[in-house]
């Protein structure tokens, strides 16, 4: 959908200012929902929103943001309010790192184009305050969307998604014109994953189709027919068609039930949950077999397990420029945590790093800017701690498999 074409004209648009993006009006039981398709990197879209709300034609405005993204937009220091230790303890480090990576991509676009992505959403927030209009956040939480993407794609595709995300935000300083153009059709998530979404139904569904449905359900909850007379709905042009189709079709009498279902994160498979315990059982069994044959073989297996796990996990924290105490602690902790699925080497490494190098106020205040450059991830204490966690976890995982195969090889070889 292009943004240069004039919006459809009719009686419902005669009293509204002209817009650069498409408009679509849907009337349901006395309430008119006017959907404005915007470009997320466009000063014109921001002007469209301001002019429409300044016209006085609307008594409520709904925007394609979730509460978390709205809070982040209106409070630049939101990251500083988080307890990093709890982030690691609750297993949210990966999501925080992904959010930072997306934010870095957004910041680089802003510096390059002179336009802050999402300027039209900011304009809607400001205009709603100016005109004392109810502001409705109708998009699904970005963390939930990322989790549903992760759970919905096959396990073998998850690594390519992760590397694609990291590569798109960290591989270079300049964002290509093609990437900026993608943002004129969708949003940060769609631009980052568009290469995969076009080819994968498993990715397209949680990334785009579910969010179209979710936003229609949120409108039915927050702005049901009769509550407001005219609601302006500001959303990316790529979501206009799908969201409009859901609004035009009969919505469920209880939209909350379906909306909550779309917020549910599918649990990992039973096999995936059981795998760490299975590996632990196999390794301990390997030790037992080794000692049952002879003490020397048993201690050899234990030593190899310890050294391989410790060196790979501790060595990975060196890549993150971790504190020397963190490196040593990870070296000794990894072989033990690899045999205890309830705690990971990354958690221990991040905890020690936080203790040795507690982030300062300036680290939180400069975080968004620092992570726009590759070296900034190592410069800032917050992002470096995230790197310590991620690299120590990866190092320990690799160490577990390498050491496990070494144990199997030693037992098989001695048996032969």
pLDDT band at 79 (very low <50, low <70, confident <90, very high): low
Residues 270-329 pLDDT 10s: 777 788 888 889 899 999 998 998 899 889 999 999 999 999 999 999 999 999 999 999
How buried is 257 (Cβ within 10 angstroms: 0-12 exposed, 13-18 middle, 19+ buried)? exposed
Cα gap 332→317, rounded to integer Å: 13
Q: Which of 14-18, 78-82, 350-354, 406-410 has the highest mean pLDDT?
A: 350-354
Residues 334-379 pLDDT 10s: 999 998 888 889 889 999 998 898 887 677 777 777 777 778 888 8
Cα gap 117→120, rounded to integer Å: 8
Query: What is the secondary structure of 41-83 as a DSSP string?
Result: S-HHHHHHHHHHHHTT--SEEEES--HHHHHHHH-TTGGGGS-
**pLDDT (0 to 100) of residue 175:** 54
Cα gap 209→72, rounded to integer Å: 25
Q: Between 5 and 324, whose confidence is greater?
A: 324
Residues 112-143 pLDDT 10s: 666 666 788 999 999 999 999 999 999 998 88
**pLDDT (0 to 100) of residue 83:** 63
- Helical spans, DSSP H, in 140-223: 142-152, 155-170, 177-183, 188-197, 201-204, 210-222
**pLDDT (0 to 100) of residue 207:** 81
Cα gap 55→52, rounded to integer Å: 5
Nearest CA-CA partner of 29 in 279, 250, 225: 225
Q: Would you say residue 35 has pLDDT above 90?
A: yes
**pLDDT (0 to 100) of residue 161:** 63
Phi-psi region of 226 (alpha: psi -120 to 50; beta: other; left: phi over 0): left
∠ CA 158-241-18 to the nearest 5 degrees?
A: 125
**pLDDT (0 to 100) of residue 10:** 47
Region 161-177: mean pLDDT is 56
Q: List, in order, residues 6 or more apart from 296 with CB less than 8 Å away.
A: none
Residues 170-205 pLDDT 10s: 545 555 555 555 555 555 555 555 544 455 667 778
Least confident of 13-27, 159-173, 234-248, 388-402: 159-173
Angle, in degrees to the nearest 10, between helices 67-74 and 142-152: 130
Cα gap 104→217, rounded to integer Å: 31
Residue pair 109/180 in contact (Cβ under 8 Å)? The answer is: yes
Cα gap 241→239, rounded to integer Å: 6
Q: Would you say residue 230 has pLDDT above 70?
A: yes
**pLDDT (0 to 100) of residue 152:** 79
**pLDDT (0 to 100) of residue 3:** 39
Q: Would you say residue 167 has pLDDT above 60?
A: no
Region 240-267: mean pLDDT is 89
List strand residue ranges (DSSP E) for 87-167, in order. Answer: 135-137
**pLDDT (0 to 100) of residue 148:** 86
Cα gap 222→337, rounded to integer Å: 47
Residue pair 243/212 in contact (Cβ under 8 Å)? The answer is: yes
**pLDDT (0 to 100) of residue 1:** 37
- Residue 75's φ and ψ, nearest 5 degrees, are -130, 90
Residue pair 49/127 in contact (Cβ under 8 Å)? The answer is: yes
Least confident of 29-43, 145-159, 252-266: 145-159
Q: Would you say residue 237 has pLDDT above 60?
A: yes
Total-model pTM: 0.72
Helix and strand counts by DSSP (H, E) for the chain: 21, 5
pLDDT band at 162 (very low <50, low <70, confident <90, very high): low
Q: How far does the chain reach from its first CA to its final CA, in angstroms?
A: 66
Kindly provide the b/e burial profile for residues 307-339, where b requires at least 16 CB atoms within 10 angstroms of the residue's own CB: ebbbbbbbbbbeebebbeebbebbbebbbebbb
Nearest CA-CA partner of 38 in 7, 15, 77, 84: 7
Mean model confidence pLDDT for the chain:
81
Count of beta carbons in the 10 Å neighbourhood of residue 117: 22
Q: Would you say residue 4 has pLDDT above 60?
A: no
Residue pair 23/51 in contact (Cβ under 8 Å)? The answer is: no
Count of beta carbons in the 10 Å neighbourhood of residue 41: 26
Q: Would you say residue 50 has pLDDT above 50?
A: yes
């Amino acid at each position: 959908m292009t943004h240069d074409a004039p919006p459809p004209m009719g009686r419902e648009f005669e009293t509204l200012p002209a817009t650069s993006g498409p408009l679509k009006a849907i009337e349901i039981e006395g309430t008119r929902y006017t959907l404005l398709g915007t470009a997320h990197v466009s000063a014109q879209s921001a002007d469209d929103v301001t002019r429409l709300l300044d016209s006085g034609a609307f008594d409520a405005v709904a925007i394609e943001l979730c509460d978390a993204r709205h809070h982040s937009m209106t409070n630049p220091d939101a990251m500083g309010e988080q307890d990093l230790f709890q982030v690691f303890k609750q297993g949210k480090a990966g999501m925080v790192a992904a959010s930072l990576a997306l934010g870095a991509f957004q910041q680089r676009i802003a510096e390059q184009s002179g336009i802050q992505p999402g300027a039209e959403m900011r304009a809607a927030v400001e205009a709603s305050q100016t005109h004392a209009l109810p502001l409705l956040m109708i998009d699904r939480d970005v963390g939930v969307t990322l989790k549903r993407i992760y759970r919905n794609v096959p396990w073998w595709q998850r690594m390519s998604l992760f590397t694609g995300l990291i590569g798109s935000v960290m591989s270079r300083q300049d964002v290509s014109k093609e990437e900026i153009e993608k943002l004129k059709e969708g949003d940060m998530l769609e631009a980052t994953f568009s290469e995969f979404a076009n080819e994968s139904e498993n990715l397209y569904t949680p990334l785009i189709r579910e969010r179209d449905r979710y936003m229609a359900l949120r409108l039915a909850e927050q702005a049901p027919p009769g509550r407001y007379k005219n609601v302006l709905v500001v959303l990316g042009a790529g979501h206009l068609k799908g969201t409009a189709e859901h609004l035009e079709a009969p919505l469920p009498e209880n939209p909350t039930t379906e909306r909550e279902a779309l917020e549910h994160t599918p649990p990992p498979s039973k096999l995936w949950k059981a795998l760490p315990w299975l590996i632990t059982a196999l390794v301990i069994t390997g030790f037992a077999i080794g000692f049952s044959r002879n003490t020397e073989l048993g201690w050899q297996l234990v030593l190899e397990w310890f050294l391989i796990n410790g060196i790979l996990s501790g060595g990975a924290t060196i890549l993150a420029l971790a504190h020397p105490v963190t490196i040593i602690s990870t070296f000794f902790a990894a072989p033990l945590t690899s045999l205890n699925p309830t705690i990971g080497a990354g958690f221990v490494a991040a905890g020690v790093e936080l203790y040795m190098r507690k982030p300062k106020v300036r680290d939180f205040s400069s975080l968004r800017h620092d992570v726009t450059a590759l070296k900034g991830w190592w410069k800032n204490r917050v992002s470096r701690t995230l790197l310590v966690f991620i690299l120590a976890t990866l190092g320990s995982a690799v160490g577990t498999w390498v050491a496990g195969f070494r144990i199997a090889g030693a037992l098989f070889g001695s048996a032969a």
